[in-house]
Amino acid sequence: MSIGTNISLKRKEQGWTQKQLSERLHVSDKTISSWETERTYPDISALIQLSETFDLSLDQLIKGDVAMVKSMDKNIQAGRNWKRWRILFIGASVLIISFVLLNLGWLIWRDQRQAELDRYPWSQVELPEQFVNSSRLYVKKKDLYIFLSRYETKTSTPYLKFENGPREISVQDGKKYTLVFKDKNDLVFYNGNGSSLSLNKNLEPVGGLTKTKVMTTYEQKNFLKDYRSDITRFYKAGLPVFEELNN
């Protein structure tokens, strides 16, 4: 027996009109008519109400109505599909929002870094041939050039290379000498001939290299003696810039 016939039969057994049944179920009499003629089918909540109203089990109410069972299966599957789409939509929304927030955070951080850099009067000009591997941003102090290390140009993407700190600078004379401030207590002087000397903040040697080997303590002291005046001059020029950039 179909669900529509069953509803009609049980309603008539109770002596109810479609209007009276609709009032008990809180639906319209047109809905009752649609169920009984099987133009539409009751949903699961309506089926529960019908089973309680007629004092029947759900199995007794829909048993034998293949079309009704298929309709219920279809509705259940549609509900599952909607749940899957809803999960996918929420997941995609979370990813998009996260992407936007991350990019917004990066832009804010980038602008803050740029504002800090712009406090200093960096120049951007074509540099002498000796500086082809150096940054184009520099401060000129008398005969010395003070470069911001690892910072290519303001129009490129230097922020990917730019460490949180300390901000290294390189002091050069336009010839061959270079003093690099890696940190306030970590400096390296290059003589342009393949040798370098590592120094602490007191300009005392803590290590050295030549083209072929590591310097001995004696060689480090002699190297410092030969270049002390240049190292001191470079240090005095670069220290104020390094300190201001790393406040």
- Cα separation of 112 and 106, whole Å? 10
Whether the pLDDT of residue 142 is over 80: the answer is no
CA dihedral 126, 132, 137, 141 (to 10 degrees): -80
Whether the pLDDT of residue 127 is over 60: the answer is no
Mean pLDDT of 100-108: 80
pLDDT tens string 13-45: 889 999 998 888 888 989 989 888 888 888 878
- Cα separation of 170 and 95, whole Å? 42
Higher pLDDT residue, 65 or 82?
82
Whether the pLDDT of residue 176 is over 80: the answer is yes
Nearest by Cα to 242 from 155, 76, 120, 103: 120
SS3 assignment for 170-187: EEECCCCCEEEEEECCEE
pLDDT score at 109: 66
- Cβ–Cβ under 8 Å, residues 42 and 50: yes
Q: Report DSSP state, residue 214.
A: B
pLDDT grade for 154, boundaries at 50, 70 and 90: very low
pLDDT grade for 125, boundaries at 50, 70 and 90: very low
pTM metric for this prediction:
0.44
Whether the pLDDT of residue 92 is over 60: the answer is yes
pLDDT tens string 41-67: 888 788 888 888 888 887 777 765 555
**What 3-state DSSP class applies to 196?**
strand
Provide the residue count of the chain. Answer: 247
Check: CATH 3.40.50.300 for 3-64? no
Long-range contacts of 129-133 (CB under 8 A, 24+ apart): 130/172, 130/174, 130/175, 130/176, 131/172, 131/174
Whether the pLDDT of residue 136 is over 70: the answer is no
pLDDT score at 156: 42
Domain boundaries along the sequence of the chain: 3-64, 123-245
Nearest by Cα to 153 from 106, 184, 117, 104: 117
pLDDT score at 235: 94
